[in-house]
């Protein structure tokens, strides 16, 4: 695209522009990552300008790290989350090249470096503000002590660093006094002492994630005295109970977001303490907690700033929903996913009052009918995200309303919406949605059996579409997929599992046009070696799931795996394990690719009715 | 107190303090400003009930001594303690029998020697249970108590007052010939012959000179004694009149005396010298430290007296002497009282929580409290971990291993070795009295210092027979009484 815009001969004219102006032009070239690539290919000077301009880098392979860091000398943000094989040597390269320029580094998903590399990094890159070490399960307290040397650190994510204990956190608390964001999710070695010391030493903390930590009211009371705290996540903290929340009454006038999902020991008695946060609390997550009834809804009605409530997986009563409808605030986000007891009456009373609703999740609310959907589309016209998987009582005509009224919709999940064999989402519903919601980015139409290529062709008009899940739609063929590939250049996630009529003919346009595709599921489709091999030309492809492809041979698979250099996750049937050469595994493992083996036998086509009926019985 | 004395000292000091207070109790009434008191009763295994009065400041004083005596006669709490003790004892015995039954099942060709030993152990245990039961029952009946009263003096023969020759002049030997067969010490030896390897526990007496802070005796209400420096530091306080050999305690001296002739072997000669419980009020004795300017010196403005000779000794050594004993493990900590060193050695190296300033803590929360308090201090990462070999869990394993290697062979051997090296008369060590106190279980009755680690050092004993109950929480407070 850019090549046509900037012909070779006019490069001299561009030389007249100052570098700053070209930089500003480049700032606008961020819609498609490939655009900048094209720009840099124009000429030597463009190449140089582009390499000076780039601040953010997200390499797909760690082996080229030296080269790209030589080219991009002004990178301040380095996202290595796509490189699962970052070693101490790689960190040595980074700290040697980036020096003081580096401000942010993301090392999540890699566990091959140690405290030695981190010490090196922290020593050389004194301006580091952000480090993400998620999933570095092997890191010990010595690594935490190394991080403590980063005096300017403001954001630190240690999610799933299971081997770090209170001692390591203590080092960080003492060393990184400027911390504003800290995530300790799943750091199971950290308890009251470490968290308490964070509260004592790091007074700047704005955001704190303490999910699944074995903390009690002892450290919670200290945390709640942090004057700047805005965002607190306490998901799955079983040590927190009603009494612990009493500490809310004392301090913390700044808390804006509170996540207490899966806190089983908190009831509406404890939640009444939230009233002291009335002036500040904006988002509240009480998923998988106590029953949402009138008492609970009333205890929250004084929260005057509240605009987002998540109640996933809670038992909900009609009176509770009505009480929520009577809140004086106007909710922008409501999540009732997997809530038992959501009825047309209750949901309608909520959506008719909260007209500013932008995000609504009513997944698995099986009792609601077209009445609710009519109310939703009627009053919440600015809806951006609607998730209504398995709302099996909603009739086909109701979905047309979505296309007619919700023009700002970006996310739609209508997975598995059908009442009988002859009802449910049809092509006409999707047609209306595709026309009415041009900004659609994500759509899930899995298991909507009546959808055909016509739907896909209409969806191809939504140029921003990046996620398409059409699992289990047997009417879809390669031609529909080709239309999507051509129309939706942003596509990065595609699920065509159990689309039996999709074959190699669909893969070739995909390989050609969808250069942003990262994740694909081809299980049970009719794709063969040829189709798979053609996908190898998509350089950023990372994850493929290829179970039960009848046309797949071991040699074809080997060729495809070798050709897809960026793969980090492959889901394969266990029978291939013995058929593939062991050397291949070694090679792929060295590249950072992991295999997931599945031994499930081929299922012809289970009657979806039977498990649906079971679910209905259970309800 | 020296560790060599520990085994019996714990029980004996207790019973001696009991006997002291038996005598001093009447004097309490003479001090009416002695405002609050609490009464504790201890049953010792030999049936005598000794009431110990102590001023723990939470019970109104009884004005009438007789009345107070009556209320002290039967203390339901003591009874409960006795009963639970008995229950424990019986369980232990059951365990022992179980072991024997199992061994018989496994190995029929067992050595007779072990069998005999076990039988002896059981007999001893049973005897102790019976005696205890009778005494418990006896404490209920006033009439029985009266008849038991003389026996209390028998029991006193096993307790030794801590008075040094230089201080206590009014020691009266009470000749009591009505010694019950059961309580004949020579008989007891038979029971405990099997237990030649009884471990000798080092008892912590650290609280001795610190714990009496709460005591608030009005000046003049007690007699102040002051020992000279030489007396305090003298290794022996009891000397044989015939050969001049020195001993730390008079019981050991009496055992020694048996070698000098038959006249010293009579029960009367072996009886603990017992002070005449006269009706005239005896002044409470308190001690002063000879060091001028010390708070424990009687000339100090805020003088706080020391309660016992033992307190004087420990206080003087700790405060005014060089610290000559160095810990062989860390080579940094020094002590002037050898018992303190031994206590430290038990914990040395276990302070695994380290701060960047070099301070170590035995508890993680203490370390974090320290770090929260001081700017710039940070937790230090243990060396093993930075080498990548081990995390904290590994450290625990190491500790456990150390523990195990300590317990079975180490501690028992070391104690014996210590004893030989110290020049103390080994005979006293193996005397029936000593074994009795460490073997028989009656002394569980008495408070055990809270810091001792009984499980580790006793674990090698025959199962059940000599097991301490893990720490008696209810007794820890009362330990400060002496």
For A229-247, how does the pLDDT look when each residue is reduced to its tens digit (9 = 90+)? 999 999 999 999 888 888 8
Tell me the average pLDDT across B52-60. Answer: 40
Residue A546 scores a pLDDT above 50: yes
Six token digits for residue A118: 């981190």
What's residue A237's pLDDT? 92
* Residues of chain B contacting A165 with CB distance shorter than 8 Å: 391-392
What's residue B280's pLDDT? 59
How far is it, in rounded angstroms, from Cα A223 to Cα A204? 12
How far is it, in rounded angstroms, from Cα A241 to Cα A269? 10
* Residues of chain A contacting B367 with CB distance shorter than 8 Å: 170
Assess B392–A contact: CB distance below 8 Å, yes or no.
Answer: yes
How far is it, in rounded angstroms, from Cα A481 to Cα A477? 7
Six token digits for residue A5: 């815009």
Residue B271 scores a pLDDT above 70: yes
How sure is the predictor about A544, in pLDDT bands with cuts at 50, 70 and 90? very high
pTM of the model: 0.60
Number of CB atoms found within 10 A of residue B431's CB: 20
How far is it, in rounded angstroms, from Cα B434 to Cα B254? 13
How sure is the predictor about A481, in pLDDT bands with cuts at 50, 70 and 90? very high
How sure is the predictor about A12, in pLDDT bands with cuts at 50, 70 and 90? low
Across A115-119, B280-284, B384-388, the highest mean pLDDT is recorded for A115-119
* Residues of chain B contacting A196 with CB distance shorter than 8 Å: 368, 372
Q: What angle do CA A321, A613, A365 make, to 5 degrees?
A: 20
Tell me the average pLDDT across A551-555. Answer: 91
Question: Nearest Cα to A608, choosing from A388, A424, A386, A394?
Answer: A424
Q: What angle do CA A92, A96, A101 make, to 5 degrees?
A: 120
How sure is the predictor about B338, in pLDDT bands with cuts at 50, 70 and 90? confident
- Mean of the per-residue pLDDT values for chain B? 60
Phi-psi region of A534 (alpha: psi -120 to 50; beta: other; left: phi over 0): alpha
User: Searching chain A, which residue's CA lies closest to the CA of residue B352?
Assistant: A167
What's residue B120's pLDDT? 81
Query: Among A140, A166, A170, whose Cβ lies nearest the Cβ of B378?
Result: A170
Phi-psi region of A132 (alpha: psi -120 to 50; beta: other; left: phi over 0): beta
How far is it, in rounded angstroms, from Cα A373 to Cα A352? 11
What's residue B275's pLDDT? 58
Q: Could you list the beta-strand ranges (E) of B122-186.
A: none
Phi/psi of residue A2, nearest 5 degrees: -70, -30
Six token digits for residue B392: 């904290």
B334 burial type by CB count under 10 A (0-12 exposed, 13-18 middle, 19+ buried):
middle
Q: Do A148 and B386 make contact, defined as CB atoms within 8 angstroms?
A: no
Best of A170, A175, A215 to substitute, by most chain B Cβ atoms within 10 angstroms, is: A170
What's residue B73's pLDDT? 54
Q: Are strands A359-361 and A385-387 parallel, antiparallel or unpaired?
A: parallel
Window from A34-48, A427-441, A505-519, B97-111 with minimum mean pLDDT? B97-111
How sure is the predictor about B429, in pLDDT bands with cuts at 50, 70 and 90? very low
What's residue A612's pLDDT? 54
Best of B373, B378, B384, B389 to substitute, by most chain A Cβ atoms within 10 angstroms, is: B378
Best of A117, A144, A167 to substitute, by most chain B Cβ atoms within 10 angstroms, is: A167
Tell me the average pLDDT across A289-293. Answer: 90
* Residues of chain A contacting B371 with CB distance shorter than 8 Å: 170, 174, 197
* Residues of chain B contacting A174 with CB distance shorter than 8 Å: 371, 376-379
What's residue B402's pLDDT? 38
Across A525-529, B133-137, B164-168, the highest mean pLDDT is recorded for A525-529
Best of A112, A165, A174, A201 to substitute, by most chain B Cβ atoms within 10 angstroms, is: A174
| Whether the Cβ atoms of residue B10 and residue B443 lie closer than 8 Å to each other | yes
Q: Do A171 and B381 make contact, defined as CB atoms within 8 angstroms?
A: yes
How remote is the C-alpha of B216 from its chain's centroid? 25
Six token digits for residue A193: 């002492």
Strand partners, A495: A469, A521
Residue A386 scores a pLDDT above 80: yes
* Residues of chain B contacting A161 with CB distance shorter than 8 Å: none
Phi/psi of residue B244, nearest 5 degrees: 85, 5
Ordered DSSP codes for B23-79: HHHHHHHH-TT--B-EEEEEE-TTS-EEEEEE--S-SBPPS-HHHHHHHHH--HHHH
What's residue A323's pLDDT? 93
- Mean of the per-residue pLDDT values for chain A? 88
What's residue A201's pLDDT? 93
* CB under 8 A, 24+ apart: contacts of B106-112: none
What's residue B91's pLDDT? 85
Residue whose tokens read 């009020």: B281
User: Searching chain B, which residue's CA lies closest to the CA of residue A141?
Assistant: B381
Window from A541-545, B67-71, B84-88 with minimum mean pLDDT? B67-71
Residue B416 scores a pLDDT above 50: no
Window from A192-196, A248-252, B47-51, B346-350 with minimum mean pLDDT? B47-51
Six token digits for residue A316: 């909900």
Residue whose tokens read 């797949």: A552
**pLDDT tens digits for A584-619?**
999 988 888 889 998 877 665 555 555 555 555 554
How remote is the C-alpha of A165 from its chain's centroid? 28
B355 secondary structure, DSSP code? B
Q: Do A165 and B371 make contact, defined as CB atoms within 8 angstroms?
A: no
Q: Do B378 and A140 make contact, defined as CB atoms within 8 angstroms?
A: no
Phi-psi region of A548 (alpha: psi -120 to 50; beta: other; left: phi over 0): left
**Higher-confidence residue: B189 or A9?**
A9
How sure is the predictor about B351, in pLDDT bands with cuts at 50, 70 and 90? low
How sure is the predictor about B201, in pLDDT bands with cuts at 50, 70 and 90? very low
Please tell me the total number of residues recorded for chain B in this structure: 482
Name B172's Cβ contacts closer than 8 Å, sequence gap at least 6: B273, B274, B275, B276
Residue B458 scores a pLDDT above 60: no
How sure is the predictor about A419, in pLDDT bands with cuts at 50, 70 and 90? low
Window from A40-44, A234-238, B139-143, B235-239 with minimum mean pLDDT? B139-143
* Minimum distance, in Å, between the CA of residue A587 and any CA atom of chain B: 28
What's residue A560's pLDDT? 92
How sure is the predictor about A148, in pLDDT bands with cuts at 50, 70 and 90? very high
What's residue B2's pLDDT? 43
How sure is the predictor about B214, in pLDDT bands with cuts at 50, 70 and 90? low
Residue A185 scores a pLDDT above 60: yes
How far is it, in rounded angstroms, from Cα A84 to Cα A611? 38
Phi-psi region of A305 (alpha: psi -120 to 50; beta: other; left: phi over 0): alpha
Ordered DSSP codes for A221-277: HHHTT-TT--EEE-TT-TT--HHHHGGGGTS-----EEE-TT-TT--HHHHGGGGGG
**Higher-confidence residue: A84 or B59?**
A84
Question: Nearest Cα to A284, choosing from A263, A266, A309, A302?
Answer: A309
How far is it, in rounded angstroms, from Cα B448 to Cα B461? 19
Tell me the average pLDDT across B231-260. Answer: 83
**Higher-confidence residue: B474 or A60?**
A60
Report percent pLDDT > 70 for chain B: 43
How sure is the predictor about B15, in pLDDT bands with cuts at 50, 70 and 90? very low
**Higher-confidence residue: A458 or A276?**
A458
How far is it, in rounded angstroms, from Cα A572 to Cα A595? 7
How sure is the predictor about B89, in pLDDT bands with cuts at 50, 70 and 90? confident
**pLDDT tens digits for B175-185?**
444 434 334 44
Residue B465 scores a pLDDT above 50: no
Q: Do A140 and B385 make contact, defined as CB atoms within 8 angstroms?
A: yes
Residue whose tokens read 């799933």: A160
How far is it, in rounded angstroms, from Cα B344 to Cα B183? 38
What's residue B461's pLDDT? 36
Please tell me the total number of residues recorded for chain A in this structure: 619
What's residue B13's pLDDT? 39
Six token digits for residue B153: 């003096």
How sure is the predictor about B200, in pLDDT bands with cuts at 50, 70 and 90? very low
Q: How far apart, in Å, are the Cα atoms of B328 and each of A352, B156, B206, B349? A: 80, 40, 21, 11
How far is it, in rounded angstroms, from Cα A374 to Cα B388? 62
Q: Do A142 and B386 make contact, defined as CB atoms within 8 angstroms?
A: yes
């Amino acid at each position: 695209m850019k090549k046509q815009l900037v012909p070779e001969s006019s490069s001299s004219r561009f030389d007249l522009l100052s570098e700053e102006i070209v930089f500003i032009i480049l700032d606008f070239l961020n819609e498609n990552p490939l655009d900048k690539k094209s720009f840099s290919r124009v000429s030597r000077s463009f190449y140089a300008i582009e390499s000076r301009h780039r601040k953010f880098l997200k390499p797909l392979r760690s082996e080229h790290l030296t080269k790209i860091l030589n080219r991009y000398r002004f990178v301040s943000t380095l996202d290595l989350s796509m490189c699962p094989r970052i070693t101490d040597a790689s960190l040595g390269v980074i700290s040697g090249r980036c020096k003081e320029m580096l401000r942010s580094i993301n090392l999540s998903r890699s566990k091959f470096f140690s405290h030695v590399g981190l010490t090196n990094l922290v020593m050389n890159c004194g301006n580091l503000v952000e480090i993400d070490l998620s999933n570095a399960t092997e890191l010990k307290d010595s690594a935490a002590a190394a991080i403590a040397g980063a005096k300017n650190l403001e954001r630190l994510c240690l999610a799933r660093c299971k081997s770090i204990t209170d001692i390591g956190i203590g080092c960080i608390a003492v060393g990184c006094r400027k911390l504003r964001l800290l995530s300790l999710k799943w750091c199971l070695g950290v308890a009251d002492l470490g968290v308490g010391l964070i509260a004592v030493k790091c007074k700047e903390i704005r955001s704190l994630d303490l999910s699944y930590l074995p903390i009690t009211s002892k450290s919670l009371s200290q945390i709640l005295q942090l004057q700047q705290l805005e965002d607190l996540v306490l998901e799955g903290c079983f040590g927190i109970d009603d009494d612990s929340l009493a500490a809310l009454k004392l301090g913390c006038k700044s808390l804006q977001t509170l996540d207490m999902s899966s806190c089983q020991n908190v009831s509406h008695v404890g939640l009444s303490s939230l009233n002291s946060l009335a002036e500040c609390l904006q988002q509240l997550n009480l998923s998988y907690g106590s029953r949402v009834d009138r008492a609970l809804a009333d205890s929250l009605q004084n929260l005057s700033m509240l605009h987002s409530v998540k109640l996933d997986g809670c038992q909900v009563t009609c009176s509770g929903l009505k009480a929520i409808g009577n809140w004086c605030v106007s909710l922008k986000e409501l999540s009732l996913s997997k809530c038992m007891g959501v009825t047309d009456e209750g949901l309608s009373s909520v959506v008719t009052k909260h007209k500013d609703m932008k995000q609504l999740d009513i997944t698995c609310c099986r009792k609601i009918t077209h009445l609710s959907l009519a109310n939703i589309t009627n009053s919440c016209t600015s809806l951006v995200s609607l998730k209504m998987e398995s709302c099996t009582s909603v009739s086909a005509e109701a979905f047309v309303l979505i296309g007619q009224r919700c023009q700002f919709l970006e996310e739609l999940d209508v997975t598995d919406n059908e009442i009988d064999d002859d009802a449910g989402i049809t092509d006409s519903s999707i047609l209306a949605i595709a026309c009415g919601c041009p900004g659609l980015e994500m759509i899930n139409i899995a298991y909507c059996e009546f959808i055909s290529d016509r739907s896909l062709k209409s969806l191809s008009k939504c140029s921003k579409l990046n996620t398409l899940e059409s699992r289990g739609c047997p009417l879809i063929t390669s031609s529909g997929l080709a239309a999507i590939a051509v129309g939706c250049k942003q596509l990065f996630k595609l699920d065509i599992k159990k689309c039996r009529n999709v074959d190699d003919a669909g893969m070739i346009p995909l390989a050609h046009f969808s250069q942003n595709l990262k994740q694909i599921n081809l299980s049970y489709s009719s794709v063969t070696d040829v189709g798979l091999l053609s996908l190898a030309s998509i350089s950023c492809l990372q994850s493929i799931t290829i179970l039960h492809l009848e046309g797949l041979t071991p040699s074809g698979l080997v060729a495809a795996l070798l050709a897809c250099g960026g793969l980090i996750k492959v889901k394969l049937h266990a029978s291939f394990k013995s058929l593939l050469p062991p050397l291949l595994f070694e090679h792929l493992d060295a590249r950072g690719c992991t295999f997931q083996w599945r031994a499930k036998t081929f299922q012809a086509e289970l009657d979806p009715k039977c498990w649906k009926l079971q679910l209905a019985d259970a309800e | 107190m020296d560790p060599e004395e520990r085994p019996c000292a714990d029980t004996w000091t207790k019973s001696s303090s009991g006997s002291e207070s038996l005598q001093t109790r009447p004097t309490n009434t003479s001090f009416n400003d002695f405002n609050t008191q609490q009464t504790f009763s201890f049953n010792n295994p030999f049936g005598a009930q000794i009431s110990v009065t102590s001023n723990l400041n939470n019970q109104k004083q009884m004005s009438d001594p007789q009345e107070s005596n009556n209320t002290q006669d039967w203390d339901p709490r003591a009874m409960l303690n006795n009963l639970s003790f008995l229950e424990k004892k019986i369980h232990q015995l059951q365990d022992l029998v179980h072991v024997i039954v199992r061994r018989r099942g496994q190995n029929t060709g067992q050595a007779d020697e072990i069998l005999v030993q076990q039988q002896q152990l059981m007999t001893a245990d049973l005897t102790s249970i019976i005696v205890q039961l009778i005494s418990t029952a006896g404490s209920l009946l006033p009439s029985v108590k009266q008849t038991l009263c003389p026996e209390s003096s028998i029991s006193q023969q096993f307790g030794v007052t801590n008075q040094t020759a230089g201080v206590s002049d009014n020691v009266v030997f009470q000749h009591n010939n009505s010694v019950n067969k059961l309580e004949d010490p020579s008989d007891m030896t038979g029971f405990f012959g099997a237990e030649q390897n009884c471990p000798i526990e080092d008892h912590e007496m650290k609280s001795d000179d610190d714990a009496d802070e709460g005591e608030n005796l009005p000046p003049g209400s007690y007699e102040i004694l002051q020992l000279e420096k030489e007396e305090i530091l003298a290794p022996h306080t009891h000397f044989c009149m015939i050969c001049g050999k020195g001993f730390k305690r008079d019981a050991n001296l009496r055992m020694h005396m048996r070698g000098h002739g038959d006249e010293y072997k009579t029960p009367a000669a072996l009886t603990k010298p017992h002070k005449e419980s006269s009706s005239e009020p005896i002044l409470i004795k308190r001690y002063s430290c000879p060091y001028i300017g010390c708070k424990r010196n009687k000339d100090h403005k805020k003088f706080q007296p020391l309660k016992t000779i033992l307190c004087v000794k420990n206080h003087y050594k700790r405060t005014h002497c060089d610290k000559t004993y160095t810990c062989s493990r860390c080579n940094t900590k020094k002590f002037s009282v050898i018992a303190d060193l031994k206590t430290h050695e038990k914990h040395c190296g276990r302070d695994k929580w380290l701060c960047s300033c070099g301070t170590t803590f035995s508890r993680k929360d203490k370390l974090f409290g320290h770090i929260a308090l001081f700017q710039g201090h940070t937790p230090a990462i243990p060396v093993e971990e930075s080498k990548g070999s081990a995390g904290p869990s590994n450290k625990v394993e190491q500790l456990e291993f150390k523990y195990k290697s300590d317990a079975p062979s180490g501690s028992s051997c070391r104690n014996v070795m210590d004893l030989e090296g110290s020049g103390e008369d080994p005979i006293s060590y193996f005397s029936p009295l000593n074994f009795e106190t460490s073997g028989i279980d009656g002394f569980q009755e008495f408070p055990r210092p809270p810091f001792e680690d009984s499980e580790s050092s006793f674990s090698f004993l025959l199962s059940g027979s000599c097991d301490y109950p893990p720490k008696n929480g209810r007794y820890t407070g009362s330990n400060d009484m002496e």
